[in-house]
Amino acid sequence: MKTKKRRDALSAFKEANRLIEMERNGGRWIAKDRPHKNKKKYCRKDSKKELSRMIDGSSFVLYHSFC
């Protein structure tokens, strides 16, 4: 019986902490411990993401689709 009360108290504490953190971060989760990312290493994914952002706002897409 004692362990059940303890578990209930811990789960209530964890739930309250989650709600506080969600309010603090605008309703979304933010990772506390992220894996280290090497800045010098070439990352194709990042370069492709930048390219797609550049193309989305340009007139190249319209020109390319009509030719």
Range of the domain at 53: 2-30+40-66
Rounded CA separation 5/35 (Å)? 36
> Which tens digits make up the pLDDT trace of 6-61?
888 899 999 999 899 889 888 887 777 878 888 888 888 877 888 877 777 655 55
Q: Tell me if 62 is assigned to some domain.
A: yes
Would you state the pLDDT for residue 29? 76
pTM of the model as a whole: 0.41
Rounded CA separation 31/39 (Å)? 19
Rounded CA separation 60/53 (Å)? 12
Would you state the pLDDT for residue 30? 77
Rounded CA separation 56/64 (Å)? 12
Provide the 8-state DSSP code for 37: -
pLDDT score of 2 more than 70: no
Q: Tell me if 35 is assigned to some domain.
A: no
Q: Tell me if 24 is assigned to some domain.
A: yes
Would you state the pLDDT for residue 57? 61
